Amino acid sequence: MGMFILRRVGVLILTSLCLTFVVFFLTNLYPNLEKLAKTQGNFRMTDEEVATYLNNNGYLQPVFAKYGQWLGVLPGYVIEGTDGTVRAKCAGPDEPLEEAPTFCGVLQGNWGYSTVFRDDAGGIIAEKLALTGKLMFWVMLLMVPSALVLGVLAGMREGSRTDRTLSTVAITTTATPEYVSGVIFIAVFASTTVGLKWFKGTATSAMDGANFENFFLPVLTIALYGMGYIARMTRASMAEVMTAQYVRTARLKGVKFRNIVLRHALRNALIAPFTVIMLQFPWLLNGVVIVETLFNYKGFGWVLVQAAGNNDIELLLGVSVVSVFVVLVTQLISDIGYVYLNPRISVS
C-alpha cells in the first residue's frame, strides 16, 4: 500500500510539472506576451516599445529559464533595463535590490504577481478558493444524498415504473449543461418581470453573507448536472447487487424487502458510486467556472476566466496547479478508497 501511494504521488508530481509547463509555454508565446504588454502599458504601443517592455520585465528570456525561475530552481532574473532601472524578479516594486532573495519561485512559497488584480497571486487564489469551497460544500451536501437516494430507489426494483421515471429524470439532468439549467432557473425563479421571483439572479451578495435566497440557484445548478450521472451509477450498481445470490437467500429466508435493501444490499451497492463521486470533482470544476460566470460569484472559477482572458501568466499558473492538484488527489483518494471499501481487491 505504501509503495502504491508513493508511486501515485510520483506520477502526480510529474503530471503537475508537465501540465504547468504546457500552460507556461502557451501563455509565453509571443502574441500572448504582446497582448500582455499592451494591456499593461497601453494599446497604441509600437512593436519596438512592446519588445523593450517585455525585455525590461524579463519576459524575453528562454522559456526553460523562465519556467525554472517560476518554479524556484533557478535564480530570479536581475535585468538592467534600457531605461537604466534595474529590475529583479524577486524584489517588489519598492524593495531595494540588495535585500531581495536569490530564489523566489513556487518552491519558496512565492506564487508570483497577478498583472490583472495587481496583487500577490497566492493571496488571490487562497481567498477565492475559500469562496468556491463554500459553494462546493453546499453542492456536495445537496448532490450526494439526493443522487444516492434517487439511484437506490431506481435500482432496487429494476424495470419497474419508479425505475423508468427516475432513470429518465437522471438522463435529463445529465443532458442539461449548467449554462442551460442556469438560464432556465433564472427564467423561472429569478426573473424580475415574469415567473415566481423566489430567488435572486446573481450570487454576488452571497460572497459575504450567503443565504437561501441568493445562494440556492447556483448550488442547485451545479448539483443537478453531476447528480444524474452519480444516480445512474448507483442505480446500475444497486440493480447488480439486487440480483446477487445472498440477496436471493435473504429474500427466501423471508427478510422484509426494506431490510434487504437497507441491511444487505446498500453497503455493497455504494462502493461504485464512491469512486464516481470522487471522479466527479474535475467535472464540478467546469460547472463552477460556468456557474460563477453566470451568477457573477467571484470565486475560483471567475478568477480562472479573468486570468485566462487577460493572459495573466502567474495567476493562471497558480490556478492550473490548484485545479490539477484537485483532479489528481481526488483520483488518488478514489483508488485508495475503492481498495478499502472492496475487500476483494488488493493493490499488490
Partner 1 sequence: MGGEALGWGEIIGRMFMQFMPVWIALVITFALSIAYKRRLGLYGKLFDSVIGMIGFAMVMFWIFTGVFNGFFDLIATHDVLGQSSSMKNKPPGTPYTKLIGGVDPDAYGYYLLGGDNLGRDVFSRMVAGGWEVIKIAPFATIFAFMVGITLGLPAGYYGGKFDTTLSFVANLILAFPVILLFYLLVTPEIVQTGIPVYLAGVLFIFPIIFLVILWNSRYFTQPATRNLYIGITLVLGLWLYLGIAWDADPFGLISFPPNLLVVFVSVVFVNSPTVFRIVRGLTLDIKTRDYVAAAQTRGEGPWYIMLWEILPNARGPLLVDFCLRIGYTTILLGTLGFFGLGLSPESPDWGSTINEGRKLLTIYLHPALAPALALLSLVLGLNLLADGLREESLRD
Q: In the complex, which residues of this chain contact partner 1 (CB under 8 A)?
A: 11, 15, 18-19, 23, 26-27, 29-32, 34-35, 167-168, 171-172, 174-177, 179-180, 183-184, 186-187, 190-194, 201, 282, 285-286, 289-290, 293-294, 304-305, 308-309, 311, 316, 319-320, 323-324, 327-328
Residue closer to partner 1 (CB basis): 260 or 313: 313
Closest of 290, 296, 148, 297 to residue 232, by C-alpha: 148
Strands 86-88 and 113-114: unpaired
Whole-number Å distance between alpha carbons of 146 and 150 = 6
Closest distance to partner 1 from the beta carbon of 208 (Å)? 21
Say if CB 269 and CB 261 are below 8 A apart.
no
Residue closer to partner 1 (CB basis): 223 or 260: 223
- Phi (first) and psi of residue 160, to 5 degrees: -75, 175
Residue closer to partner 1 (CB basis): 27 or 57: 27
Closest distance to partner 1 from the beta carbon of 29 (Å)? 5
Closest distance to partner 1 from the beta carbon of 304 (Å)? 6
Closest of 327, 140, 143, 171 to residue 236, by C-alpha: 171
Whole-number Å distance between alpha carbons of 108 and 326 = 21
Closest distance to partner 1 from the beta carbon of 102 (Å)? 31
Whole-number Å distance between alpha carbons of 32 and 197 = 43
Closest distance to partner 1 from the beta carbon of 184 (Å)? 6
Residues 6+ apart with CB under 8 A from 223: 139, 142, 143, 146
Closest distance to partner 1 from the beta carbon of 40 (Å)? 15
Whole-number Å distance between alpha carbons of 268 and 287 = 30
Residue closer to partner 1 (CB basis): 35 or 134: 35
Residue closer to partner 1 (CB basis): 169 or 255: 169
Residue closer to partner 1 (CB basis): 5 or 183: 183
